[in-house]
A and B are shown apart, each in its own frame.
Chain A
Amino acid sequence: MKITRRRKEKLIKNIFFLFAIVSLLILFLIVLFLFREGIPIFKEVTLWDFLFGNEWYPTYQPPSYGIWPLIVGSLIVTFFSSLIAVPIGVMSAVYISEIAPAALKEVLKSVIELLAGLPSVVLGFFGMVVLAPWLQETFDLPTGLNIVNASLILALMAVPTISSISEDALYAVPKEFKEASYALGATKYETIVRVIVPSAFSGIMTSVILGMARAIGETMVVLMVAGGAAAIPESLFDSVRPMPASIAAEMGEAPFRSGHYHALFATGIVLFFMTLIFNLVADYVSHKFREEGSGTL
């Protein structure tokens, strides 16, 4: 059998199709599995009580499966880490793409990439062994494993995401825009603030949302430094127990197909929807605010 050009073409096409379909299939199976293992919890507890119940005592008799403290924990560390990471990430991207001299630019870029490559367990360990005792000593707190600590470390993880995607967006702003701005007599500062950043706005927003999605799904760091108290926090220096930490800590010992096991999978579903929403918003923003077309001679 001789392989003709046509056959070869077809073969290659099929192989690529297979690879493309594999990831889709895997995602589909994961979602299917997640729902199959999570849904049964709603035979024991209503959706409302599960989402907004204040008590997470899955191993007691009778158990209570309220994940509201865990949801609050996740949202609060995500919010405060974005508060830190967004300005740092966006401004460093502006500096790298618009202001820094070429040599420094390369150094900064590779340092930020290095930061992105740091394993989360290393950052978590840093937060636990270095940052926590420092916070505790400095502010005379009962514990250094708290919202502030977790937010700082998560911010450190979100900065590379925000910075590198923002930088790509800034880089993609057509050169003509800049030139036109300078031609009109605008200063560098004016050009950046009034022309470049607004043109790259959709990309920057996307980077922010993806950075937040990274923070909300991060497990190791919150497991190690958030303290893990399943209670609604009263101050910034209280411990919290974000959802991924709860799943990671408890799944290993939850009896197979027990209520606790299903409740942890259902927590996974909630987490899945949250990251899904983040991604949909990112997608929407990047289409809605896309700067279209540029006029050149």
Chain B
Amino acid sequence: MHPIKLCLLALLGLLATIQTSPAASVIVVKGSTTVLPVVQAEAEAYMKSHPGLNISLSGGGSGDGIKALIDKSTDIANSSRELKPEETKLAGKRGIRPVLHPIAMDAIVPIVHPRNRVKNLTIDQLSQIYQGKIRNWKEVGGENLSIVVVSRDSSSGTFESWGQLVLHGAKVTPRAQMQASSGAIVQVISKNRYAIGYIGIGYLNKSVKPLTVNGIPATTETAVSRRYPVSRPLYMVTSGEPKGGVAGFVQFVLGKEGQRIVEKTGFVPVKKH
């Protein structure tokens, strides 16, 4: 019997090392891939000025982050949306009070191939296109080409905001192509002159052409003033008011330097300094 007992002991030992909770000098951050690039830059800057402190950052999506916050396996959840009712309910059951900290504004921009002649679409036209009711570019002033609708997968935060701000809850056509990340959407659109997609303003680059919405271009100014119609806040969510190292990090992100980093990563600061 001894060998089996020994093996069991060894296994228990292994489990124990896995189960140990992170030391006080580690902040675990998890969640939305939209928020990821901002918090990545924030964490790098913060760790540089706070040697000894370690910020462990991962993506996975808003839902994953909030799930982890409820499971108490993360200190901060990044989210590109507010909590869903069932998430709030579950958090309540586990004795957790989620507190939302808006850290940046995200403007979602419709993008097309640079060779596409169309420059502007109204919210209504965008809605019709994504519902599959407008199917040819000539109906909105472009060439006689069919429209390939590219969307984020149906559970991404960006998809959800787009669904609320543009489609007002109407269903996206099942013929829409789904891409799993904003980077993938840019990649697809830059190679396809039939296609239309949407991304967070932080992912915009020269390989694609942004469209104006209702005649308003997506810029820092129009997003902050909320004149640009497809913009939304991004959040860091903590369990209760943040304490200790977590509070320090949240304050840093909302402070002058943190907000400068927000701007540098292509998002829109929530506070003017």
Q: Are A143 and B177 in contact (CB under 8 A)?
A: yes
* B84 interface hit (Cβ, 8 Å): yes
Interface segment among B45-53, B56-64, B244-252: the answer is B56-64
C-alpha gap A216/B177 in the complex (Å): 20
B155 to chain A, nearest CB (A): 4
With a CB–CB cut-off of 8 A, which chain A residues contact B84?
Answer: 255, 258
B66 within 8 A of A: yes
Could you say which of A26-34, A88-96, A223-231 contacts chain B? A223-231
Q: Once the chains bind, are A14 and B3 in contact (CB under 8 Å)?
A: yes
B164-183 interface (Cβ within 8 A of A) = 169, 171, 173-180
**Tier of interface size on chain B:** 35 or more
* Closest B residue to A232 using CB positions: B174
Nearest chain-A residue to B149 (Cβ)? A229
A255 and B63 contact, Cβ closer than 8 Å, known pairs A11-B3, A228-B153 = yes
- Asked if B263 lies at the interface with its beta carbon under 8 angstroms from chain A, I say no
Q: What distance in Å separates the Cβ of B6 from its nearest Cβ neighbour in chain A?
A: 9
A229 touches B195 (CB 8 A): no
CB < 8 Å A-B pair total: 110
Contact partners of A136 in chain B: CB under 8 A: 191-192
**Most B C-beta atoms less than 10 A away, residue of A132, A223, A230, A255:** A255
Q: Is B15 an interface residue (CB 8 A)?
A: no
Residue of B60, B67, B175, B191 ringed by the most chain A CB atoms within 10 A: B191
| A264 (CB) vs chain B CBs: closest residue | B155
| Contact between chains at B177 and A239 (CB < 8 Å) | yes
Q: Nearest CB to that of B67 among chain A residues?
A: A256
Instruction: Indicate whether A55 sits within 8 Å of B63 (C-beta atoms), given known contacts A18-B7, A143-B192.
Output: no
Q: Across the interface, do A224 and B184 meet the contact criterion of CB distance under 8 Å? A: yes
Q: Which of A173-181, A245-253, A279-287 contacts B (4 or more CB under 8 A)?
A: A245-253
The answer to whether A145 and B177 touch across the interface, beta carbons within 8 angstroms, is yes
- Interface segment among A42-50, A57-65, A111-119, A188-196: the answer is A57-65
What's the Cα separation between A145 and B150 when bound, in Å?
11
- Contact string, A199-240, partner B, CB cutoff 8 A, digits 1/0? 000000000000000000000000110011111000000010
Given the complex, which residues of B lie within 8 Å of A262, measured CB to CB?
none
Q: Check if A56 is an interface residue, CB within 8 A of chain B.
A: yes
Min CB gap B195→A, angstroms: 7
Inside 8 A of B179's CB, which chain A residues have their CB?
228
Residue of B nearest to A17 (CB): B4
Q: Which residues of A contact B62 (CB under 8 A)?
A: 253
A56 to B175, CA, bound (A): 11
B180 surroundings in chain A (CB, below 8 A): 223, 228, 248-249
Residue A144 lies at the interface, judged by CB distance under 8 Å to chain B = yes
Q: Judge whether B155 and A58 touch: CB under 8 Å.
A: yes
Encode B151-171 as 1/0 by CB contact (under 8 A) with A.
001111101100000000101
Establish whether residues A143 and B148, one from each chain, have CB atoms under 8 Å apart when the complex forms: yes
Which residues from chain A contact B3 at a C-beta distance below 8 Å?
A: 10-11, 14-15
Cβ–Cβ contact A142 & B174, under 8 A: no
B214 within 8 A of A: no
Q: Bound complex: CA of A146 vs CA of B195, how far in Å?
A: 14
- Shortest beta-carbon distance from A229 to chain B in Å: 5
B25 at the interface (CB under 8 A from A): no
Determine whether the beta carbon of A231 is less than 8 Å from that of B66: no
Whether A255 contacts B4 in the complex (CB less than 8 A), given A228-B178, A229-B174, comes out as no
* Separation of A6 and B188 alpha carbons in the complex (Å): 66
- Whether A145 touches B155, Cβ cut-off 8 Å, given contacts A15-B7, A223-B180, A258-B86, is no
**Top 9 closest pairs, chain A to chain B, by CB:** A228-B178, A252-B61, A253-B155, A253-B61, A249-B153, A231-B174, A253-B63, A256-B67, A250-B155
Contacts A231-B174, A249-B155, A249-B178 aside, 20 further interface pairs with beta carbons under 8 A come to A10-B3, A14-B3, A56-B174, A60-B169, A128-B188, A132-B191, A133-B192, A143-B192, A144-B191, A144-B192, A227-B178, A228-B153, A228-B180, A241-B178, A253-B63, A254-B63, A256-B66, A256-B90, A257-B90, A258-B86
B interface list, Cβ under 8 A from A: 3-4, 7, 59-64, 66-67, 70-71, 84, 86-87, 90, 145-146, 148, 153-157, 159-160, 169, 171, 173-180, 184, 187-188, 191-192, 194-195
A-B CB contact pairs (8 Å), 25 listed: A11-B3, A14-B4, A15-B3, A15-B7, A55-B174, A58-B154, A59-B160, A128-B184, A129-B187, A142-B145, A142-B192, A143-B148, A223-B180, A224-B184, A231-B173, A231-B174, A252-B59, A253-B64, A253-B153, A254-B63, A255-B67, A256-B87, A257-B90, A258-B86, A260-B155
